[in-house]
Chains A and B, each alone.
Chain A
Amino acid sequence: MEDQFIKTDILKPENIVYKKTSLMTDKPLSYCPGCGHGTAHRMLMEVIDEMDIVDKTIGISPVGCSVLAYDFMAIDMLGAAHGRAPALATAIKRMWPGHFVFTYQGDGDLAAIGTAETIHACNRGENITIIFINNGIYGMTGGQMAPTTLPGMRSSTSPYGRDVTTMGHPLKITELVAQLPGVYYVTRQAVHTPNHVRKTKKALRKAFELQKENKGLSLVEIVSNCNSGWKMTPVNSNKWMEDNMFPFYQLGDIKVDGKLVVKTETSEKE
C-alpha cells in the first residue's frame, strides 16, 4: 500500500512529463478507436507548439475522415474541397510568405481526386508542408478502394480484392513526387508504436523548419491503419499494416536536402 501511496503522490502538475498539447482542442476526436489520425494530429500540433508559431501557422484540412481536423487543431484553418488543399496552400503561402502553411490530406484526397493539385504544387516547389495520411482505403465514405489500396486487398468497391489488371496498380505518389526538382524533403513514417511516433514528430519538425529556409516543398507521408475499413481490431490492424503495408510502402527518408536517398540492400534490411 505504501507504493500505491507514493504513486498517487506524484500526480502533480510539476511532475507531468507528457500531456496532450493545448493546441489540441478538448473536442472528442471523431475518429474510430485506434485510428492513427489522432496521433498524427497531436504530433503536428506538438511541433507547432514547440516552435511557438501558432500566430504564423495556417493549416488546410481535406475532405475525408480528417475533414473536421480544424475542430481538433486549435490553430487557424481552412477546409478545402476534395483534393484541392495544395492549391489553397499555394495561394496562401505566396500571399503570406512569412507564414507556415501545411495541408493535411488522406490518400483519396491527395493521390486520386487531387493528383493534379498535388503534383503541380510539388513541381512548383511551393514552400509548404504536405502531411499525407496513407491508409490504403477511403475511410470516411465506408471503406472503398483507394489509389493506394494494395493488390489483392479487399475493400467495399473491390470486394474480391484489388485486381490490378482491371483496377490499376496502387500509386506510390510519394516516390513519384520525390522525383520533382521542386520537392526538397520527402519521408515516409508511421504512428503506431512509440518509436515511430517519435520519428514522425522529428520528420514534421524538420519539414516545418525547412519552410523557414524557402527550400521547396516537404512531404511527410504517414502510413496508417484503418481498422474499421480493414475490418480488424486496432491492434490487429497495426500488425497487418506492418506485415502488408510496410513491405510495399517502405518507411524511411525518400528525399533529403533535395537529393533522393539511395537505398542499398543492407539499408533496406535495417
Chain B
Amino acid sequence: MGELRLMKGNEAVAEAAIRAGCDGYFGYPITPQSEVMEYLMAERPFERTGMVVLQAESEVAAINMLYGGAGTGKMVLTSSSSPGISLMQEGLSYLAGAELPAVIVNIVRGGPGLGTIQPSQADYFQAVKGGGHGDYRMLVLAPASVQEMCDHVKLAFDKAFEYRTPVMILSDGAIGQMMEKVVLFDHIPRRTDEELIKQCPWASNGRPKTRNHNIVTSLDLDPAGQERVNLKLQAKYREMEKKEVLFEEVQCEDAEYLIVAFGLSARICQKALDLARAKGIKVGLFRPITLFPFPATQVSNVGNRVKGILVVEMNAGQMIEDVKLSVGCKVKIEHYGRFGGIIPSPDEVLNALEQQIIGG
C-alpha cells in the first residue's frame, strides 16, 4: 500500500503529477485552484525529480507552454479554473489538432463571466463537447474525491500518451479545496530522453541524422488532407468510446428510480440515496467517471429498467442532454440543479426526486 496522507484535492493533483513522472507544470494563479502551483513551488520537484514548474504570464501562455512541451514529447500538466480554462480553449483545440498528449485540470467555479469562486459543474459542455474551435474531443475524467484527484492524474497521463490527445480532469472548487485522506501511488521515475524518444517518435526534439525532420502542427491547407486529419481524430474518439468508458453504479440492481450525477454532485446524491432508501424508496445512483467518452450504453441499460431518472448537476442542465440521448424517451428524465456556486443538499435532492420523478 502506498503512502497515506491528508491532503487537499489540489495538492493531491500536484503530488500525483510529481509521482507520475511529469516533466513540466505550467500555470497561472486563479481561485480555487492556486494550491496546485503553490504546492509544486514549495515542494521543489525540480530538485526531487527534475520536473520543471513555471508560473506563466497568463493561461494563454500556460496552455501554449504545454503545447510546446508536449510537441517535444514531454509529459506536461496545467491546472486552472473556469475563466482561465476559457482562455485556454485556443490552445486545447491546437493540442487536439496536432494530436499532442497533455493533461489539463479544471477546478470549476461558478460562471458565466467572472462568476464566483465557489464550486460549480457548469463547464460540462465546454469540456465534453469541445470548447475550442473545430471537431475535437478530449478524454474527460470527473473525480469525486481527493483520492480520485490523485489517481486520475496518473490515468490521464497514461491515456494522453496512449491516444496522443489532451485529457481534461473536470473537477470543482469543493473537491479542489476539501481535505481527505489519500493513498498516494509510488513514484514513477521520469522518462529518460532515450525512453521519451522511443515512446514519441513523432515528437520534435532535435533531428538525428537517421530520420527526416519531424513537424508538429495542426495545419493542413489541402482540404482532402484536413479531412483525413479529421477522420483520424474521429476514429480515435470512436476507439475511446469503445475502450475507455468508466462509471460507477450504486445500488442499481433493484432500483425503481435512478439518479445520474458526476463528481461532487454524485457524493451528495449518495447521501440522498441513503435517505431515500431509509424511507423505502428504491433508488440507484449512476456516476459517469468519464464524461467523454460518456457511458451511454451503460446508463441506458440501467435507465431503461427504472420508472424515472433524476439528473443532478451543479448547473442548469448539461449532462442531462447526454443522459437523454443515451436512454431515449421511454423513461421520464428530469433535471435538478443549483447554480452560481451553491451545492445542493441531500434533502433538496430527495425532495426533487419525490416531486419531479416519483410524484410528478
Contacts and interface: CB of A to CB of B under 8 A. Distances in A.
Given A60-B68, A84-B64, A91 B24 contact: yes
B94 interface: yes
Given A75-B213, A77-B213, A95-B24, A88 B218 contact: no
B207 A54 contact: yes
B206 A92 contact: no
A73 B56 CA distance: 29
A60 B69 CA distance: 12
Nearest to B193: A96
Interface in B175-218: 204-209, 212-218
A246 B327 CA distance: 68
Contacts of B94: 81
Contacts, number: 125
A89 interface: yes
Nearest to B214: A76
Contacts of A99: 205-206
Nearest to A30: B221
Contacts of B98: 78-79
A75 B57 contact: no
Contacts of B23: 95
Query: Which of B23, B71, B206, B207 counts the most chain A CB atoms within 10 A?
Result: B206
Interface in A33-87: 54-58, 60-61, 67-68, 70-71, 73-81, 84, 87
Contacts of A54: 206-207, 209
A84 B219 contact: no
Given A77-B213, A88-B67, A116-B58, A95 B74 contact: yes
Nearest to A99: B206
Which 7 pairs, one residue from A and one from B, show the smallest C-beta to C-beta distance? A88-B68, A79-B217, A91-B65, A76-B204, A87-B64, A84-B64, A120-B57
Interface of B: 23-24, 26, 52, 54, 56-58, 60-62, 64-69, 71-72, 74, 76, 90-91, 94, 98, 204-209, 212-219
Interface of A: 54-58, 60-61, 67-68, 70-71, 73-81, 84, 87-92, 94-96, 99, 116-117, 120
